[in-house]
């Protein structure tokens, strides 16, 4: 008779923190699932655009008046959300529902009441604090950064990052990194019509006089021409690039070793959704390299929404990028840099770097962009842009009087991927601004961009928007433009 060998002792259970146990509790998971189910049920009731509900107009007007009193001036749009939407549809506090083709100027790229992002936000509600900081934070901040850096490293030399609470602050940090790298060189190179944010420094670099009115000028900026397809076609591409390179060399010779950086918007946002050209950028970047001028790629608005996750991949320029900024759709904003630009201790700091909800939701945004079918010439964003262009061309064919020729443009619609613009009324600023408001009243939210000509622009939630809904959106657009044309 044989005796069974004694059973070896079970390996010790890995230690877990109380926080881990809370976030992985089945009861918590069930509760989150139950709340998300309620969000989905409520969101399903949003089925299409509509006007205000009876009885809510007066109370909505009171809310708008209170907001104006708090702010010191009326809101540009009478937009106060109810807190519920469905994809590209959003309900306002007066019960009206509109197509949201602007999404907080590109922030809400996955639309409204997205169940997956709602679940991530609910999980963040369990965190022990709301705000997290540079000195003391939870791990979610660095999980977010690890995911972002893993994508950035695939075709660039970007290796490190610092978080910020806004795109403007990410830009401020990028400028500080460039200043330190160049020993305090006082000048900055930037493109005409660029936009950098509205801090004291960034409003001076941005090429919009109204945004720095009354601000004392203390930043020295040398403006370069941006890529201009119409001008390049008229004079020849090579001559256009040579002229830009000559202008850059002129600045460098006039102010030797005085430039802290050249700020590249590879696709301009506020400037008019102007798409650049690889040969043009590469020629300028080669000159910067030869003169040790740091190359800063500002993708606050472009990241994630072109036909590549990073705009520098769109132009195959990742090897040139020294400093990089991202924000808007990522929820948390960040400045990235290469090892050579790693700043000294003390340069970058701040009480806040963001909120746990921003990091958790931003993490899911990055993962879904990474794993989705969005990019490339046949990806979802390219298909959406083609559907958008088809609608604009059909509208131009129906209403040619609304779309006179604009000599500065090769086409009356443009942009790339989820950055979409079209140019009614000859790009006249007053009429384009009125058209944006009229379209809002007719059920679609969009905005304007450019510096003459002016355009109507869209930043729609393409990952959750159905291509079959473009005609419905443009029905609202057409009604809005008709109101302006009839004045």
426/435 Cα distance (integer angstroms): 12
**351 shares a domain with 268:** yes
DSSP string, 112-158: BS-HHHHHHHHHHTTSS-SEE-SSS--THHHHHHHHHHHHHTTSS--
Look at residue 4 in the predicted model and tell me its pLDDT.
60
DSSP string, 440-470: HHTTEE-EEEESSSEEEEE---GGG--GGGH
**pTM of whole model > 0.75?**
yes
**410 shares a domain with 271:** no
Q: What's the total number of domains in the chain?
A: 3
**346 shares a domain with 275:** yes
Look at residue 148 in the predicted model and tell me its pLDDT.
98
The answer to whether residue 365 is domain-embedded is yes
The answer to whether residue 119 is domain-embedded is no
Angle at 311 between CA 308 and CA 312, to 5 degrees: 110
Q: By C-alpha distance, which of 485, 477, 432 is closest to 456? A: 432
The answer to whether residue 420 is domain-embedded is yes
**What's the CATH code of the domain at 256?**
3.40.640.10
**479 shares a domain with 446:** yes
**341 shares a domain with 384:** no
Residue 102: φ, ψ to 5°: -120, -40
**187 shares a domain with 328:** yes
SS3 of 255-266: the string is CCCCEEEEEECC
**404 shares a domain with 326:** no
Look at residue 1 in the predicted model and tell me its pLDDT.
52
**221 shares a domain with 301:** yes
Cis peptide before 453 (omega within 30 of 0): yes
The answer to whether residue 123 is domain-embedded is no
Residue that terminates a domain, selected from 100, 118, 150: 100
**459 shares a domain with 354:** no
155/339 Cα distance (integer angstroms): 15
Q: Which domain holds residue 466?
A: 380-485
366/334 Cα distance (integer angstroms): 13
**What's the CATH code of the domain at 434?**
3.90.1150.10
The answer to whether residue 356 is domain-embedded is yes
The answer to whether residue 208 is domain-embedded is yes
Q: Which residues of 122-134 are buried (b: 16+ CB within 10 A; e: fewer)?
A: bbbeebeeeebee
Residue that terminates a domain, selected from 371, 403, 428: 371
356/362 Cα distance (integer angstroms): 10
348/134 Cα distance (integer angstroms): 9
351/343 Cα distance (integer angstroms): 18
The answer to whether residue 120 is domain-embedded is no
**463 shares a domain with 435:** yes
166/161 Cα distance (integer angstroms): 14
Angle at 300 between CA 447 and CA 251, to 5 degrees: 105
The single-letter DSSP state of residue 228 is -
448/435 Cα distance (integer angstroms): 9
**91 shares a domain with 39:** yes
The answer to whether residue 311 is domain-embedded is yes
Residue that terminates a domain, selected from 46, 77, 100: 100
**201 shares a domain with 80:** no
pLDDT in tens, the chain (487 residues): 555 666 777 777 778 999 999 999 999 999 999 999 999 999 999 999 999 999 999 999 999 999 999 999 999 899 999 999 999 999 999 999 999 999 999 999 999 999 999 999 999 999 999 999 988 899 999 999 999 999 999 999 999 999 999 999 999 999 999 999 999 999 999 999 999 999 999 999 999 999 999 999 999 999 999 999 999 999 999 999 999 999 999 999 999 999 999 999 999 999 999 999 999 999 999 999 999 999 999 999 999 999 999 999 999 999 999 999 999 999 999 999 999 999 999 999 989 999 999 999 999 999 999 999 999 999 999 999 999 999 999 999 999 999 999 998 999 999 999 999 999 999 999 999 999 999 999 999 999 999 989 999 999 999 999 999 999 999 999 999 999 998 7
Checking 371-378 for CB contacts under 8 A at 24+ apart, the result is: 372/463, 374/462, 374/463, 375/307, 375/308, 375/309, 376/307, 376/308, 377/307
């Amino acid at each position: 008779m044989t005796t069974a060998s004694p059973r070896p002792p079970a390996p010790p259970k890995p230690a877990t923190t109380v926080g881990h146990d809370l976030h992985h509790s089945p009861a918590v998971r069930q509760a989150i699932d139950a709340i998300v189910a309620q969000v989905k049920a409520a969101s399903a009731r949003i089925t299409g655009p509509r006007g205000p509900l009876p009885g809510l107009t007066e109370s909505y007007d009171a809310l708008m008046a209170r907001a104006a009193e708090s702010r010191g001036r009326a809101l540009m749009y009478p937009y106060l959300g109810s807190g519920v939407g469905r994809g590209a549809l959003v309900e306002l506090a007066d019960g009206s529902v509109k197509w949201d083709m602007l999404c907080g100027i590109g922030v809400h790229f996955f639309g409204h009441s997205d169940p997956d992002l709602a679940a991530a936000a609910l999980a963040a509600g369990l965190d022990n604090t709301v705000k997290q900081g540079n000195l003391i934070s939870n791990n979610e901040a660095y999980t977010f950064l690890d995911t972002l850096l893993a994508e950035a490293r695939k075709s660039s030399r970007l290796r490190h990052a610092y978080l910020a609470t806004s795109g403007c602050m990410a830009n401020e940090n990028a400028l500080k990194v460039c200043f330190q790298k160049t020993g305090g060189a006082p000048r900055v190179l930037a493109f005409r019509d660029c936009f950098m944010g509205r801090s004291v420094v960034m409003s001076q670099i941005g090429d919009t006089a109204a945004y720095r009115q009354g601000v004392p000028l203390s930043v020295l900026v040398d403006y370069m021409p941006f890529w201009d397809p119409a001008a390049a076609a008229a004079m020849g591409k090579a001559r256009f690039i040579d002229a830009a390179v000559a202008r850059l060399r002129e600045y460098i010779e006039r102010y030797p070793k005085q430039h802290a950086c050249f700020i590249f918007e590879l696709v301009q946002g506020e400037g008019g959704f102007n798409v650049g050209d690889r040969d043009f950028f590469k020629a300028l970047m080669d000159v910067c390299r030869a003169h040790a001028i740091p190359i800063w790629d500002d993708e606050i608005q472009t990241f994630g929404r072109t036909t590549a996750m990073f705009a520098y991949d769109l132009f195959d320029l990742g090897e040139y990028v020294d400093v990089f900024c991202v924000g808007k759709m990522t929820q948390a904003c960040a400045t990235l840099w290469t090892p050579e630009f790693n700043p000294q201790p003390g340069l970058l700091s701040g009480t806040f770097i963001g909120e746990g909800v921003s990091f958790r939701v931003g993490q899911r945004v990055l993962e879904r962009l990474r794993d989705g079918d969005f990019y490339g010439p046949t990806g979802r964003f390219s298909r959406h842009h083609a559907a958008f262009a088809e609608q604009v061309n059909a509208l131009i064919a129906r209403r040619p009087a609304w779309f006179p020729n604009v000599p500065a443009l090769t086409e009356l619609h443009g942009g790339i991927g989820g950055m979409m613009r079209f140019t009614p009324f000859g790009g006249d600023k007053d009429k384009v601004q009125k058209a944006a408001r009229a379209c809002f009243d007719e059920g679609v939210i969009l905005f304007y961009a450019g510096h003459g000509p002016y355009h109507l622009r869209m930043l729609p939630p393409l990952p959750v928007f159905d291509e079959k809904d473009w005609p419905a959106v443009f029905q609202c657009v057409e009604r809005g433009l008709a109101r302006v044309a009839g004045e």
